[in-house]
Amino acid sequence: MRLLVWADPHIYAFKQFAEIGESGLNSRLEESLDVLELIVDRANQDDVDAMIMAGDLWHEKHRANLQCVYETLKILENLTKPSASASGNHDALSKAPGHYSALELVRFIQNTRCVIDEYGEIVHGIHFECVPFSYNLDWQLRQIEAIEEKEKSILITHGDVIGQYYGSFLVTEGLPLELLGKFALSVVGHYHTPTIVAPDVLILGAPMQHMWSDKGQKRGIWLVDINPDSLPVMTFEEITSSKFIEVNLDLDENRNYSFNFQDFYRIISSKPIDVDRRVKATIVSPEVIESEARSEMSTMDDEDTLVERYAEARGGENSEELTALGKRFIPGRGDE
């Protein structure tokens, strides 16, 4: 059995770099809908048996934007394959455990071919166990632990995975890998970088870039082949869409950089520059970059990380030397 698996499209009319296109839609909403249409078309191909989505279909938390919902459902109506979905934190219309989810709207157009936030069999007798994200982690864990015959089931859920990094923070509270590994396959939404955590545990990532923190990262969907006699075979298929790109024109290798009209640019330059008005770009000075790097530091970081991030922001070519010097002043490390 082959599954098309994806998560975190965050369909929304983002404002940065947006224009109103010929369709009358926000251009960034329009592009996310184009990506959704590509995914549905891929799922409808003969080599795919079912589609799985692990949460955050829409972006706005605790409410559903009518235009985004309407345009999304028009596309999902064309899906001919069975589907299973688990709600993400952005799909929740309440913070209460077992909340009502905006994904219930999908059930109206897919009916019996659709499983959302519940247990069911979709195809070839495989159990699809859809456990939604919950702000009450204990509740979410109890739902997962209560599933019987885990070794014969596919878990679809959304949340933090212990041992992974969320930005610069190491996750210490969330979904334990030893629990996820009890299933024939566990697929998890929430993080936007696609990651094979274990041979049977997959963080799906997002199908397209949404913001500057996504720059340089691949985006797409997964095809997963399930065979009862062997481990899942996971194949990543990249999707071509607009990317967030940072270019430092003060560096020699970027002095003659060529911009296109599709991607989104953040241009760093210490001198005034002229850029074709059709290029979607913001221009910032090196001082702005330094200020932003310092403001990203948080007291939630451990002391070592704080020193390293400060040194990187302030030290330039001497950042390693500044880091070593700074760590001498951390209590308990003075003699190292």
Q: What is the pLDDT of residues 23-42, one digit of tens each?
A: 889 999 999 999 999 999 99
Cα 134 to the chain's mean position, in Å?
17
Are the CB atoms for 17 and 53 separated by under 8 Å?
Answer: no
Beta-bridge partners for 121: 127
Residue 92: pLDDT band with limits 50, 70, 90 = confident
What are the CA-CA distances from residue 335 to residues 124, 327, 330 (Å)?
Answer: 62, 10, 10
Beta-bridge partners for 187: 156, 202
As a whole number of angstroms, the distance between CA 279 and CA 262 comes to 8
pLDDT at residue 278 greater than cutoff 70: yes
Are the CB atoms for 244 and 263 separated by under 8 Å?
Answer: yes
| Among the listed residues 83, 82, 121, 116, the one whose alpha carbon sits nearest the alpha carbon of residue 102 | 116
pTM of the model: 0.82
Token duo for residue 120:
């069911």
Q: 317-334: buried (b, 16+ CB within 10 Å) or exposed (e) per residue? A: eebeebbeebbeeeeeee
Degrees to nearest 5, angle at CA 309 with 303 and 314 = 125
CATH fold of 2-238 reads Purple Acid Phosphatase; chain A, domain 2 (3.60.21)
pLDDT at 130 (0 to 100) = 95
pLDDT at residue 213 greater than cutoff 70: yes
pLDDT at residue 312 greater than cutoff 80: no
Token duo for residue 218:
């691949």
As a whole number of angstroms, the distance between CA 240 and CA 336 comes to 48
pLDDT at 93 (0 to 100) = 79
> Tell me, what DSSP letter sits at residue 301?
S
* In the chain, % of residues over pLDDT 70: 89
Which segments of the chain belong to CATH 3.60.21.10?
2-238
Beta-bridge partners for 142: none
pLDDT at 31 (0 to 100) = 95
Encoded amino acid at 45, one letter: Q
How long is the chain? 336
How many alpha carbons lie under 13 Å from residue 133 in its C-beta half-sphere? 31
pLDDT at 313 (0 to 100) = 63
Residue entry with tokens 């090196």: 286
Token duo for residue 318:
């001497």
**Average of pLDDT values for 133-137?**
92
Are the CB atoms for 276 and 259 separated by under 8 Å?
Answer: yes
Strands 185-189 and 169-170: unpaired
**Number of C-beta neighbours around residue 71 at 10 A:** 19
DSSP 256-281: T----SSSEEEEE-SS-----TTSEE
Span 60-80, pLDDT tens digits: 876 777 889 999 999 999 999
